[in-house]
Amino acid sequence: MQNSRFVRGFTLIELLVVMVIVATVVSIGVLSFDLLGSDRDLKTEGQRFAALMEVVQDEASMQGREFGIELMTAGYRFVEYDALTGQWADVPGDETLRLRGLPEDLEFELYLEDKRIRLENDPAIFEDPEKTSGRSASDVYSPHLLVYSSGDATPFELHIWRSIDDSRVVLRGNALGEIEKVDQDEE
């Protein structure tokens, strides 16, 4: 007498196919989540830069000081002009205006008067004012962007971009110190 009931389970191939499908769906979910997080990094860095520019403009006009911003490929720092020495120097004792770095996958592109400016990887080294007396004006340090005590600033276009997928946030500053985020469609 044979038993008419069959006990049927999943074959090894069926289990492997299901595992591949699940792994693929999970991978797509993880990758899309990571890309959204990176877009958030772009927006966050753009907002941070614009907010710090506003802080510098406020300090410049309230305290009658001249500030500058030196941009590097993956960071930036604020400097102030010392009228006694006639030199630019780091802003002492101000944690808000410290040297800033971008997340590892982001970079800056700077345009002044529609010309791309070559940015260095590291901040420039300040020189002793007594040693610069015989040098030409083009050899003496000056920051890329200036913020005057009047509130005026250097007009600029700053791209914060990720080279992997060419995503970018574009900030445009005018001579009055106003900064706007430019939509990609406007370019």
pLDDT, residue 39, reads 77
Instruction: Indicate whether 4 belongs to any domain.
Output: no
Instruction: Indicate whether 112 belongs to any domain.
Output: yes
More confident residue, 25 or 2: 25
Go through 149-171 and write b for each residue having 16 or more CB atoms within 10 A of its CB, e for each that does not: beebbbbbbbbbbbeeeebbbbb
pLDDT tens across 128-145, in order? 656 655 555 446 788 999
pLDDT, residue 70, reads 95
Please give the Cα distance from 46 to 132 (Å, whole number): 35
Which contiguous run of DSSP H or E holds residue 75?
Answer: strand 75-82
Go through 39-71 and write b for each residue having 16 or more CB atoms within 10 A of its CB, e for each that does not: eebbeebbeebbebbeebbebbbeeebbbbbbb
More confident residue, 133 or 113: 113
Please give the Cα distance from 61 to 56 (Å, whole number): 9
Name which of 57, 118, 117, 86 is nearest 67 in CA terms.
57
CB 151 within 8 A of CB 142: no
Confidence of residue 31 (pLDDT cuts 50, 70, 90): low
Instruction: Indicate whether 7 belongs to any domain.
Output: no
pTM for the predicted model, two decimal places: 0.73
Which contiguous run of DSSP H or E holds residue 45?
Answer: helix 12-63
More confident residue, 134 or 108: 108
CATH of the domain at 93: 3.55.40.10
Please give the Cα distance from 185 to 178 (Å, whole number): 20
More confident residue, 131 or 104: 104
Which residue range is the domain that position 157 belongs to?
12-130+139-186
pLDDT surpassing 70 at residue 11:
yes
Tokens of 109: 């592109």
pLDDT tens across 61-99, in order? 999 999 999 999 999 999 999 988 888 998 888 898 999
More confident residue, 169 or 127: 169
Please give the Cα distance from 7 to 25 (Å, whole number): 31
DSSP assignment letter at 97: G
pLDDT, residue 88, reads 92
pLDDT, residue 93, reads 87
User: How many folded domains does the chain comprise?
Assistant: 1
Instruction: Indicate whether 151 belongs to any domain.
Output: yes
Instruction: Indicate whether 74 belongs to any domain.
Output: yes
Instruction: Indicate whether 2 belongs to any domain.
Output: no
pLDDT, residue 154, reads 94
pLDDT, residue 5, reads 63
Instruction: Indicate whether 5 belongs to any domain.
Output: no
Instruction: Indicate whether 49 belongs to any domain.
Output: yes
